[in-house]
Amino acid sequence: MKQLVRMFLLIFIVSFALMYVVSTLNSTQGYSGKNTLTIYNWGDYIDPDLIKQFEKESGIKVIYQTFDSNEAMMTKIAQGGTTFDVAVPSEYAISKMKEENLLLPLDHSKLPNLKYINPRFMDLSFDKKNTYSIPYFWGTVGIVYNPDMLDGKKPTSWNDLWDENLRNQILLVDGAREVIGMGLNSLHYSLNDTNEEHLQEAKQKLSTLTPNVKAIVGDEIKMLLANEEAAVGVVWSGDASEIMSENEKLDYVVPEEGSNLWFDNMVIPKTAKNLEGAHQFINFMLEPEHAAQNAEYVGYSTPNEKALEYLPEEIAGDERFYPDPEMTKKLEVYENLGKRMLSHYNELFLEFKMHKK
Ligand code: N2P
């Protein structure tokens, strides 16, 4: 009899413990649906304090995941089996995701803070009327360099990177469009070129750059350049601004042959489970104080006109990172080149990377 009581007691304790574990999982890992929000963003692309603040104000638990390329992000969303509520693709990826039915239309009535975005960043060709996407950050691709390590020879063009004095001195951003685009631009071709001869020429030209390339790296490129591990880096503008705030000797230039002008926007992917929360989050990020705090933290340029008032003049007034429309006229925005051509760019980039190793 005693044994039976003990057994019942044991069963009671075990099931109670199980119930407790399940309910904790629900509340901390977001299995309870409505009260969680899964965000999929580039690495190093948000001030973590803003996530905490959003959670506090909304009572929604955020699950935050990162990616390091548009291609990786799109593959993951297209595969399904994920529950991303908000993602942050670049313009050509938005166009492709629209084509593949991977995005949900936004309810602008739930985004009153949209009025703070500079009209220059609205209604762009990849998403007319901003049906699917809301501006987050924007910028260029260029060269960050350390004048002290270059004997005063400042690079002004892509072709300067082929200088034999730069042996093993260049770090490249790990991006297919960026690196192939640099090869194309150095030959005065468009970075949206689809002509196979031009692409092969660009690949050939890039292969002659390899003795100068120290490494192709992700977000650690900022730390390496700030620590003077290399003289030159090909980077997104916001990374340059972040590097330069760490090491004031460095400078940033957009090469004279031309380069890329890009826009990263917030979207709600088809995989979303919490539409209400997703709109709440997007609107939260559009709040001028939050957009300014985010821009100051990550170093990227905000499209939020009102947020500029909250940023120090040395940031908002820096033309290297806030070029006016006249200055960006000669730059090109990536086009959605279609599934096959995008894969081809990726293959060419992979071949370049293998060559490098
Ligand atoms: C931030 C990456 C920014 C991506 N780590 C530029 N499209």
Give the Cα separation of 258 and 296 in Å (integer): 27
- Residue 121's identity, in one-letter code, is F
Question: Does residue 91 have its Cβ closer than 6 Å to ligand 1?
Answer: no
- Cβ–ligand 1 distance for 43 under 6 Å, the answer yes
What integer pLDDT is reported at residue 21 of this predicted model? 46
Ligand 1: does its nearest atom lie under 6 Å from the Cβ of 44?
A: yes
Judge if the beta carbon of residue 45 lies within 6 A of ligand 1: yes
Helix (H/G/I), strand (E/B), else coil: 48: helix
Binding residues, as ranges, are 92
Q: Specify the residue with its C-alpha closest to ligand 1, atom 6.
A: 236
> Which residue has the CA at smallest separation from atom 2 of ligand 1?
42
pTM > 0.85: yes or no: yes
Gap between the Cα atoms of 307 and 14, Å rounded: 53
> Which pLDDT score is estimated for 19?
52
Task: Categorise residue 264: left if φ over 0, alpha if ψ from -120 to 50, beta otherwise.
Answer: beta
CA of 267 to the centre of ligand 1 (A): 15
Cα 42 to ligand 1 centre (Å): 6
Q: What does each of the 357 residues of the chain score in pLDDT, given as a tens digit?
A: 556 556 555 555 555 555 554 444 444 443 445 799 999 999 999 999 999 999 999 999 999 999 999 999 999 999 999 999 999 999 999 999 999 999 999 999 999 999 999 999 999 999 999 999 999 999 999 999 999 999 888 999 999 999 999 999 999 999 999 999 999 999 999 999 999 999 999 999 999 999 999 999 999 999 999 999 999 999 999 999 999 999 999 999 999 999 999 999 999 999 999 999 999 999 999 999 999 999 999 999 999 999 999 999 999 999 999 999 999 999 999 999 999 999 999 999 999 998 765
Å from CA of 200 to ligand 1 middle: 27
Closest ligand 1 atom to Cα of 44: 5
Cα 130 to averaged position of ligand 1 atoms, centre (Å): 20
C-alpha angle 221/224/227, rounded to 5°? Answer: 145
Q: Which domains does the chain have, with CATH numbers?
A: 11-136+264-322 (3.40.190.10), 139-261+331-356 (3.40.190.10)
